[in-house]
Amino acid sequence: MKLDIRLPIGLLFVVLGTLLMAYGALGDPTIYQRSLGININLGWGLVMDIFGGLMYYSGRRKKN
């Protein structure tokens, strides 16, 4: 069985990043007052989605 570790890691980061982005977009904006109004959850969720997408893409692109 030739399972590339990048596939499940990429999927994990995409799922968690999407959940974090949804929480940041739909959550209460008053909780971001301590971070100077910067929506940290939305930003890091986007970073996690990009990283997960790159990991998944590189795992799928690998030649067998």
Give residue limits of the domains in the chain.
Answer: 6-61
Q: Measured between alpha carbons, how far is 27 from 7 in angstroms, rounded to an integer?
A: 30
H-state helical runs in the chain: 6-26, 40-61
Nearest C-alpha neighbor of 39 from the set 47, 31, 48? 31
Q: Supply 61's token pair.
A: 């692109």
Mean pLDDT by 10 residues, the chain (64 residues): 86 97 92 88 96 94 68
pLDDT at site 1: 60
Which residue type occupies 59? Answer: G
